[in-house]
Structure 1
């Protein structure tokens, strides 16, 4: 190996450039992690606005504060304003004009499997078409479209965060730790991508505290009794009228509530706020939101 004209060994400063004879040495340096300090404790006096936020699939989130003000955003609204819907239509048009890319996407095997044989089939399929798919995704129009989606997504996230965090106010949000465990499929316990992105962005604007969602959508906020599903008659696709469960509306059988019906997500967000307030006060989780309540 030859070097430039001069260098200083004591200070490790090279005056010229290093020229090698074709051999390279790489050393991985690991940055030392900072030791985690003591966890900060919060009280109600530290905040002006307290939100309980319930994330979900159909509705990206529903939030309610101590003034009974509600803010919500559906997944459909977010995708449309972030231009995801238009981008998918445009990408589909590009794929239709490239038969090889379309064939690779339509016939792609699944990688969500625990079977080594199925995973081997997926690897063999992808290795033959990897270059084709990478070239199509690196074209300038495609990269420009993805960047435009990122800009509109960031704009929408900022708008949602600003709705929850008014200027000059100290805000805390009790964010439900929903893990998507009730969805059918091979790989579970993973919330929708929008939920995690929104949680990270919201943490830049205010204090976000995770709240366990257990029984928050099943217990009535007013009386802490278990809610029952509402049923209605619906016209099914086969032309038959059947009595089916309404997911978004729940009914309280407690006499004190006089047959009150509530929105499932709004009620859950109010319960989330109650649990956050208990945590800020240093109180235990109410019995109605624990596993002992099922006994």
Structure 2
């Protein structure tokens, strides 16, 4: 297909087998495992004409720490402020654990004094993960950045 060849040419302007492109060999439920669906296969064929193409196993790349190779957990980040007088409305299951209270106390050191009448509410986020290994030099990872580092 001309459109896919043009896209491959934009990605690899000068054809050379020294250029190596890795692509994820993901599978979908409605396709055959390990086989690309739709235009992906045609795009890979167009890239193979211009460079060396290597399929990359993506399994657990986003949830394995790229520094220490331990499993990452979902991060709980502050993305909402609540008035302190509304605390009675917070359900029991949303109350922080002692460990989370300690984290909140640490964050309070850096809190803006103008927001003193507000309470920080921690929520789980999907795109940021945290490493719980105490010896790891990295604490928080963007899911996509971590996956890319693991694929290298």
TM range (shorter): 0.5 to 0.7
Distance 1:270 1:257, change over 3 A: same
Count of aligned residue pairs for this structure pair: 110
More helix by share: 1
* SS of aligned partner of 1:223: coil
Alignment correspondent of 1:180:
28
Alignment partner of 1:215 is 2:94: no
Alpha-carbon distance in 2 for matches of 1:203, 1:228: 37
Match of 1:249 among 112, 125, 128: 128
**1:201-280 equivalent positions in 2, closer than 5 A:** 201-232=46-77, 244-273=123-152
Alpha-carbon distance in 2 for matches of 1:180, 1:227: 24
Is the CA contact (8 Å cut-off) linking 1:176 and 1:272 kept in structure 2?
no
Alignment partner of 1:161 is 2:40: no
* Unaligned stretches of 5+ residues in structure 2: 81-120
**1:75-224 equivalent positions in 2, closer than 5 A:** 154-162=5-13, 170-181=18-29, 187-189=30-32, 193=38, 195-224=40-69
Question: Which of the two has higher C-alpha Rg?
Answer: 1
Is the CA contact (8 Å cut-off) linking 2:20 and 2:54 kept in structure 1?
yes
Alpha-carbon distance in 2 for matches of 1:178, 1:210: 9
Q: Which has the higher contact order (CA 8 A, sep 6+)?
A: 2
Is the CA contact (8 Å cut-off) linking 1:232 and 1:245 kept in structure 2?
yes
* Unaligned stretches of 5+ residues in structure 1: 1-149, 182-186, 236-241, 274-295
- Cα deviation, residue 177, structure 1: 1.0
Q: With structure 1 as the length reference, what TM-score do the two structures score?
A: 0.30
Is the CA contact (8 Å cut-off) linking 2:63 and 2:72 kept in structure 1?
yes
